[in-house]
Structure 1
């Protein structure tokens, strides 16, 4: 067995060892006979060397290449974006946001910079333990950058939800890609419609809905993403009862990535400031998503998202809708968005006091 650089690989070579991503996900199985598309995938995932039979390496390259230790678990190549020890989640988030903004603004005239996007997405996910959908607030935000923040946040939340829901590890990054690119079709929508602060006309609404088919068309020839990512761009507004668009599919025909992004997109769309609507309490949004689970969204995925996102320890400091600050002292699993909160020595039961709700989480243990 010998290590061979992907620069020397040719279609037809058989792998003698599984190939993994830098995050540990299985990329290609041992015994895979490489096709041209596989070579594109290896490059997209920044794989530098793979293991092949020494004899096959000789036959393909004319001479035996020097045996080298695989770099899969070694220091990443210098061209790969790796967070420094002083790098923070916010730092990597901001870098990804700028890259997404640049890619969206040029995608009509140029290819999507998929390698750079994946590289920076992985660098951000290295810090995923620092991210909670209910607590994270971007350092800078304006309404015109909403679509870029929504893309990045949907990528991160979709990565978590795919992990929480028990999908295989190989799906986690693809689900993140699905979140990152779900609204890429908006790049082909007239900005006058996209950023219009007033209600859209029927014709404008119809054009806005075309962003789903535009997105699939943009992604159909992009390498390093799977068909589920492309289908998410097309299907993320479909509903499990068949009432969505553009194809009115029922739940059995909607890809799982699209079901995941359908949830995270609603959550972030309602908790971010937009030109025509101010952000809402994430807890109220979760309650609305819960109601949508009856016929519109996948109920199992909704339950997982709500339970995991609200999984705080007692002592979490929150601000209520009446501006009072208190600590969570008990959470009922049947009502995870409405815990008991201690405010100035008195217990406020949000299940009973429905007029109150948690407006924001200030700090968590």
Structure 2
């Protein structure tokens, strides 16, 4: 083991002890082989010295390759971390997109038949199972449907909420028997909109008080539609009824407090807000997912289940260092460090300069590129 000044370090050395931030957060783990961006992070946090593997260790350098007119690049740079992002990896989520499109078509059919209560749940169940076989390829901040239209916003919201609610159910530790039912809850939470006048649903201007009251009835309409559907449990029906309730009792239609809102509804509420704000609507364009996550975090105080919100934010922002992102000023860089206390505002390296989004509050991540 050798103690070395950070100013003297070169890329390719291996840490033999964890490196922490001044506030005690883990910055770099023991065993990490330092890349050029890691050196920038150490300097940005004013780390003076670190413990590295000495000359007798197993690994001291990662081989580099240099080509004419280019800077040296790492041969083995983050191979494991970037697995699945090459050309073959780009095709990896093709089955997910195919099943997504099939589910979207089926949801449209469900909305058309909802008036009679004939939701073709046998087909819905089979299609949901086919879609969820590929849910490991679904990342909320990276996935984008191949074709979207403001006219089909509600159908996309339904399928995305199904995928996201399924993940959330797993993340918060619900029993496996609930996972598919929670996915149904996400898929069908807004089915009551099938009974709302389309002109009202798509009205671009502000609603009157009477129109707002009718819009709110989609929750009770949804419960009534699902009431006699045998393939779903009571949690799915209550998710349709309660997904606009708030934990402080300020929601609708029943002004329930958090203790009386079903867990499915609390899960779907978070997924619904996220996708409603990150999809294009008739009256509003899509917003940055990172900006939306920060708004959801604010909603956790009195409006949404704080445990579900925190789990959601921590999981969807858990990218490896090196993830490429585009900022709100259109500059492209790589995530180099994420503080668990502020997961929506990581440090981003742009052309060798570290941008700390905790300090640069006017900036935010607009898009996760890869």
TM-score w.r.t. the length of structure 1 is 0.75
Partner in structure 2 of residue 359 of structure 1 = 366
Mapped partners of 2:359, 2:340: distance in 1: 15
Mapped partners of 1:189, 1:139: distance in 2: 28
Mapped partners of 1:358, 1:302: distance in 2: 19
Partner in structure 2 of residue 136 of structure 1 = 143
Partner in structure 1 of residue 199 of structure 2 = 192
Partner in structure 2 of residue 34 of structure 1 = none
* 1:261 to 2:302 alignment: no
Equivalent residues in 2 for 1:27-176, closer than 5 Å: 88-109=95-116, 111-176=118-183
Mapped partners of 1:110, 1:280: distance in 2: 34
Residue 106 of structure 1 deviates from its aligned partner by 2.0
Mapped partners of 2:294, 2:94: distance in 1: 35
Q: Closer, same or farther in 2 for the Cα pair 1:214/1:162, shift >3 Å?
A: same
Query: Residue 240 of structure 2 is aligned with which of 233, 244, 252?
Result: 233
What 5-or-longer segments of structure 1 have no aligned partner?
A: 1-84
Partner in structure 1 of residue 58 of structure 2 = none
What 5-or-longer segments of structure 2 have no aligned partner?
A: 1-91
Partner in structure 2 of residue 337 of structure 1 = 344
Report Cα offsets for 1:187-223 as digits up to 9, x if no partner.
Answer: 0011111111111110000000000000000000001
* 1:324 to 2:331 alignment: yes
TM-score w.r.t. the length of structure 2 is 0.74
Matched residue SS, 2:199: helix
Matched residue SS, 2:369: strand
Report Cα offsets for 1:262-311 as digits up to 9, x if no partner.
Answer: 00000000000000000000000000000000000000000000000001
Equivalent residues in 2 for 1:181-220, closer than 5 Å: 181-220=188-227
Query: Residue 278 of structure 1 is aligned with which of 285, 290, 302?
Result: 285
Matched residue SS, 1:88: helix
Mapped partners of 2:113, 2:266: distance in 1: 28
Partner in structure 2 of residue 81 of structure 1 = none
Query: Residue 290 of structure 1 is aligned with which of 289, 297, 301?
Result: 297
Mapped partners of 2:93, 2:132: distance in 1: 15
Partner in structure 2 of residue 8 of structure 1 = none
Mapped partners of 2:93, 2:207: distance in 1: 45
Mapped partners of 1:356, 1:315: distance in 2: 19
The answer to whether the 8 Å contact 2:117/2:226 transfers is: no
Matched residue SS, 1:326: strand
The answer to whether the 8 Å contact 2:277/2:287 transfers is: yes
Residue 109 of structure 1 deviates from its aligned partner by 3.6
Matched residue SS, 2:253: coil
Mapped partners of 1:160, 1:227: distance in 2: 20
Q: Closer, same or farther in 2 for the Cα pair 1:87/1:278, shift >3 Å?
A: closer
The answer to whether the 8 Å contact 2:93/2:137 transfers is: no
The answer to whether the 8 Å contact 2:162/2:187 transfers is: yes
Residue 107 of structure 1 deviates from its aligned partner by 1.8
Q: Closer, same or farther in 2 for the Cα pair 1:156/1:288, shift >3 Å?
A: same
Mapped partners of 2:181, 2:187: distance in 1: 10
The root-mean-square deviation of aligned C-alpha atoms, in Å, is: 1.1
Residue 130 of structure 1 deviates from its aligned partner by 0.8
The answer to whether the 8 Å contact 2:117/2:225 transfers is: no
